[in-house]
A and B are shown apart, each in its own frame.
Chain A
Amino acid sequence: MNLHIDLMLDSERRNAALFNPKSIIRMGAAVAITGVALLIATAWVRAGQSKQALEVLRSRWRTLDTRHQQLKKQSADTLALLEYADEFARWRETRYAWSRGLAQLARTVPEHLVVQSFTTNSRVLKEGNDWCREFTVDFGCRTSIEGDPDGVVKAFQLALMALPGAHGEPAVLGYHPEGRGSDGHPTHMVFTMHYTFRSEMPK
């Protein structure tokens, strides 16, 4: 009869197997808990970073929004003031520098021609996208019948056409002899030179 005496206490018992299932379970549990804890910690850290980045964005937005609101208010003011600026600019644009224009026209009058009257009128025109002012000038003229009155008229016409902005050929209206000399013949020719020119509005 074989006698098997087991004097070991339960706490002293060790599993003789290479892998103790209990230890594996404990280790697995520890690894799992550590893993989960790590994951949660990472998530917390990332959430914190995200919160921080968000706070930076919020702060940037607050600064930008304040400036944007101020500028929007100023922009409305700018647009309103631009309307007034346009209104004043239109005043300037409707002007024509008559001091220069008149001197220029006076220089075109040929010798042997007397300008007895000068009247102007103007209107605003739009050509494509450009605005301009069209002037009509009527010169009341007189030239001696001696010499070459036709040549004088032609010279005046050509001089006017050579001016900047001249529009079309100046028209000679009412060309007729006038006056009576001692011999009973007319002494001079009178006519009206109708001239049109265009002046570009300043941009």
Chain B
Amino acid sequence: MKGDEPVDRKKLIILLLIGGVFLFYVGRQYVVRPIVAGRAAAAKERAALEKNIREAETSIRLIEQTRRNAADQMVALARDVLTGDYALVPRHNNYQIVAEEGVHRWCEEAGVVLTRFQGGRPESVPTSARRTTPVALRAYRGQVTIACSLADTIRLIKVIEDNNPLAAISRLSISAQPADPECHNVSFSVQWPTWSNEEIEASLKQRVRKYMDIPEKRAS
């Protein structure tokens, strides 16, 4: 038998060893290595993806919670911004004429005669230094003078409070008239918010409508 010859057997073993080493090298280099490298890369990518997904889920939860928490504030903002009469909008840059018309309407509703209305100028209001958005509002103050009873005064103030939840009354002064004890001289300041500028008004209204999913008003 040829293979049984010691020399042939040695050759066969050497050949097998060389073949084995070659196969091992080829297998390692072109089969095992790519598979191992692929799995390592996949594991790395998987870990990164899982981390990103966890972070994104946490962030989404926080954002959604913020949105839920902000819901009431947004409803109030939408009401304040989109209700036309709350902020005083000047007519041809004249604030007094619009404010006086409003005061006349309130007095009429309360059954009180307006003696005098004196308007001022829009003023800046103190604001937080940390805010990132431009200030939306300024204040316009007007001095209302009437002559009426205390009950009428209370009624007029109630009409103002009910009609405009943003109008604030300050510097209230009542003094009796000796000649007519039922009729007092009353004066008080009314402060309206007014838009800083038209761009802010338009942009804020649009953003609030978009946020609250309120359709744009179409001009008829």
Give me the interface of A with B, judged by CB distance under 8 Å. 10, 13, 22, 36, 40, 43-44, 46-47, 50-51, 53-54, 57-58, 60-61, 64-65, 67-68, 71-72, 74-75, 77-89, 91-92, 94-99, 102-103, 106, 114-122, 140
Contact = CB atoms under 8 A, between A and B. Distances in A.
Interface in B118-133: 127-128, 131-133
B59 A72 contact: yes
Given A54-B42, A91-B137, A119 B173 contact: yes
A118 B45 CA distance: 76
A64 B53 contact: yes
B207 A77 contact: yes
B1 interface: yes
Contacts of A106: 150, 154
Interface of B: 1-3, 27, 31-32, 35, 38-39, 42-43, 45-46, 49-50, 52-53, 56-57, 59-60, 63-64, 66-67, 70, 73-74, 76-77, 80-81, 127-128, 131-133, 135-137, 150, 153-155, 157-158, 161, 165-176, 188, 193, 204, 207-208, 211
B176 A50 contact: no
Contacts of A68: 56, 59-60
30 contacts: A40-B32, A43-B32, A43-B35, A46-B39, A47-B35, A54-B49, A57-B50, A61-B52, A61-B56, A71-B60, A72-B59, A74-B67, A78-B74, A78-B211, A82-B70, A84-B204, A85-B76, A91-B80, A91-B168, A95-B161, A96-B168, A99-B154, A99-B157, A99-B158, A102-B150, A102-B157, A102-B172, A118-B173, A119-B174, A140-B175
A120 B173 contact: yes
Contacts of B158: 99
A21 B11 CA distance: 16
A99 to B, nearest CB: 4
- Interface of A (DSSP majority class): helix
A68 B60 CA distance: 6
A1 B205 CA distance: 127
A84 B172 contact: no
Contacts of B80: 88, 91
Contacts of A85: 70, 73-74, 76-77
Contacts of B67: 74-75, 78
Contacts of B35: 40, 43-44, 47
A186 to B, nearest CB: 17
B77 A81 contact: yes
A122 B32 CA distance: 83
Contacts of A13: 1
B73 A118 contact: no
